[in-house]
Structure 1
Amino acid sequence: MAHVTMIHGIGQKPEEAALLAVWRRALAGGPQETRIDLGAKGVSSSMVYWADVLYPAPDPNVAAHESTDELETLKSDVGHIGHAITVNGAADPEWLARLAGRLLLEDPALDEPEYSVGSASRVEERFPLPWALKQRFLAAFLRDVHHYLFNVSWTPRAGETYQVQHEIRRRFVEKIAAGAERGRPHVVVSHSMGTVIAYDCLMRVPACPTIDALVTLGSPLGIDEVQDKLTPEWTRSDGFPAQKIEGDWVNIFDRLDVVAALDPELANDFRRGGLDVIRDIHEPNNGLWRHNLRKYFEGQLFRTELRRLLKL
């Protein structure tokens, strides 16, 4: 039978088994006619878990990650990120400043926004959240993306130090290899920063096994600054990891998802032999926080695609 390997995004998460259970329940919830109960379908699953590489401890509030209060999950994700990063502390300050600027921030360490009236209105449209929560989320996003792409040496807890990219790559390759042994088709479902990790490993790590299909949800892969750090293997004309993805790459986004909003469509940035082959699908979520994993998992278009890829 089929196997799904999942990989989470930024933020503090519950421990691995609990997080995988949350994701499985999210797929099995929502409208009766679209639910996907992996266990009932005989589909096995696993989680590429990397939160402990960057965050001091697992989030003990598992219930927050299943809450119908969308902001409760976000608060739990970014409430305890440990040390944030500032532009001056970055491996490449100019790179981080550009990325922060594109996310409508001058520096993730700012206490208050300083914008013109027009800019402030755009911030509110993209981030319809309390400023303190926006600040914590963006600090987590910038820190996690930077530390992975620049392979920063990081000590999340006393006595444990990781080369961030090396360690997370190792875990991804290990889980993909194990997943391939458990069933086919083997589909990778990734969210947020997890989409960057999945792409990086599939495109840039020769030891990574092949998969049958890739699903990216709320991906920042369209951002120029992210793409810049995926070279030389990535090129716009031939960036599709054809040697590792034997079937489809499906990219699902909400245009009001702040992580994906800068460039949500990936087909024109990750072509295969100059041709657009990625299936870009706009599926609007709802509410204030459109990046929420649970909302993506409840999407009818996403579930239709996942059923197709798993041959259910």
Structure 2
Amino acid sequence: MDTGKPQLLFVHGIGGLRDSVSERRQWLAALATGARDAGLADSISALTQGWLADVTFANYSDLFHRRGAQGGAAGELDPDEVPFLAGMLDSMLEELSEQFPPEDSPQDARVIRDARFQLDAAVAGRQGQGPGDIGRRLVGVTTTVLRLPGVRRTAQWMNGKALLLQLAQVGRYLDRRTKKAHVGAAVRARVVDGLDPERPLVVVSHSLGTVVAYEALHEHGASVSLWVTLGSPLALGAVVLDRLVPTPASCPENVASWLNFWDRDDIVVGRPQLADWIGPSTGGVKAITTRVDSRGLWTHTATKYLEHGAVARPVIEALRP
């Protein structure tokens, strides 16, 4: 039986270099806002002062930004990443077209159609193009995608190239080739480092962090009372889903409860109904998905999700004695 003070683990997603202390504080502040929204203001001090749980922000961002690394660290794409990115953008546009059908969102549907035309043209002409030219065409696709709601007026991604470079981190993590697989292994080791398998654990993961947590929890083995996924691309077509280990994808056996949250304006989210694509554990645990509608801009941030009472309540309740 788990004993001792609960552990709360935050696992971040795509992005630039992070400061663990600052990010931990920001995620906790957002969770406190969510607790207030859920009517659990009495738990805020216990949460932010560390009385409720030992809180860890698992920071692996430096593994994607080391000096001399290819891709995002140098501000340019690794040519090897271009095929993955083309596939990922294809899956993203497929999902977005379902979320914004012409009959409901004609203007948004036109944006998605324009991006699809650009992507198809880039892929169709790739035999006569070099990787650099295809990469520039993919930047055009992401630039068009940034015209969609929730991101069109935000500086979350300053331009299409910034978005594309950060999406490349997903491919870098999932690269299983011998000379590349060490990145994913190092990321997972960073996430579980220092966890006490004898104490209760709640995991809150976001974006790429949900993919990392999926594999890390399958390897870790220790009991997880609650796993929360936010803005997850786990079921984003074959480009992510079919690359997961283990496969076929299923809920980690050590997870007692899995809650998945998605925002309609979050362009990185894959299929909202994870349970339709990722099987249950042998104990029958599978993802329970809830849609949240964020206020304002920057929908693809963990803090925006954590500010919702629907997200904060189960986290707080899982940590309470």
Query: TM-score range with shorter-chain normalisation?
Result: 0.7 to 0.9
| 8 Å CA contact 1:127, 1:134 repeated in 2 | no
Deviation by residue 1:78-107 (Cα, 9 ceiling, x = unmatched)? xx8534425x422xx544321123345635
| TM-superposed deviation, 1:25 | 2.3
Counterpart position of 1:270:
278
Q: Give the 3-state SS of the residue equivalent to 2:136 in structure 1.
A: coil
Counterpart position of 1:47:
57
| Residues 1:34 and 1:174: Cα distance change in structure 2 (over 3 Å) | same
Q: Give the 3-state SS of the residue equivalent to 2:10 in structure 1.
A: strand
| 8 Å CA contact 2:139, 2:164 repeated in 1 | no
Q: How far, CA to CA, are the matches of 2:15 and 2:276 in structure 1?
A: 29
Deviation by residue 1:181-224 (Cα, 9 ceiling, x = unmatched)? 5x42x101111111110001223x3x543322211011111201
Match 2:148 to one of 124, 149, 156:
124
Larger radius of gyration: 2
Task: Kindly report the root-mean-square deviation, in angstroms, between the aligned alpha carbons of the 2 structures.
Answer: 3.3
Counterpart position of 1:2:
6
Unaligned runs of 5+ in 2: 94-114, 120-133
Match 2:32 to one of 28, 31, 35:
28
| TM-superposed deviation, 1:294 | 1.7
Larger relative contact order (CA 8 Å, sep ≥ 6):
2
| 8 Å CA contact 2:251, 2:285 repeated in 1 | no
Q: How far, CA to CA, are the matches of 1:250 and 1:303 in structure 2?
A: 11
2:91 maps to 1:102: yes
Q: 1:67-216, aligned counterparts within 5 Å? A: 81-85=73-77, 88-90=79-81, 94-104=83-93, 106=119, 109-110=136-137, 113=140, 124-125=148-149, 127-129=151-153, 133-151=158-176, 163-175=182-194, 178-181=195-198, 183-184=199-200, 186-203=201-218, 205=219, 207-216=220-229
| 8 Å CA contact 1:108, 1:135 repeated in 2 | no
Deviation by residue 1:105-124 (Cα, 9 ceiling, x = unmatched)? 63553486369xxx968953
Q: Give the 3-state SS of the residue equivalent to 1:109 in structure 2.
A: helix
Compute the TM-score of the two structures, normalised by the length of structure 1: 0.73
Q: How far, CA to CA, are the matches of 2:162 and 2:221 in structure 1?
A: 30
Counterpart position of 2:307:
298
| 8 Å CA contact 2:154, 2:298 repeated in 1 | no
Q: How far, CA to CA, are the matches of 2:24 and 2:224 in structure 1?
A: 20
Q: How far, CA to CA, are the matches of 2:226 and 2:23 in structure 1?
A: 22
Q: How far, CA to CA, are the matches of 1:168 and 1:212 in structure 2?
A: 22
Unaligned runs of 5+ in 1: 58-79, 155-161
Q: Percent identity?
A: 25
2:265 maps to 1:256: yes
Compute the TM-score of the two structures, normalised by the length of structure 2: 0.71
| Residues 1:97 and 1:180: Cα distance change in structure 2 (over 3 Å) | same
Q: Give the 3-state SS of the residue equivalent to 1:147 in structure 2.
A: helix
| Residues 1:54 and 1:4: Cα distance change in structure 2 (over 3 Å) | same
| 8 Å CA contact 2:11, 2:206 repeated in 1 | yes
Deviation by residue 1:42-92 (Cα, 9 ceiling, x = unmatched)? 3211121100101248xxxxxxxxxxxxxxxxxxxxxx8534425x422xx
Paired AA for residue 89 in structure 1:
D
| TM-superposed deviation, 1:285 | 0.8
| TM-superposed deviation, 1:166 | 1.5
Counterpart position of 1:229:
243
Q: How far, CA to CA, are the matches of 2:144 and 2:187 in structure 1?
A: 36
Counterpart position of 2:230:
217
| 8 Å CA contact 1:252, 1:282 repeated in 2 | yes
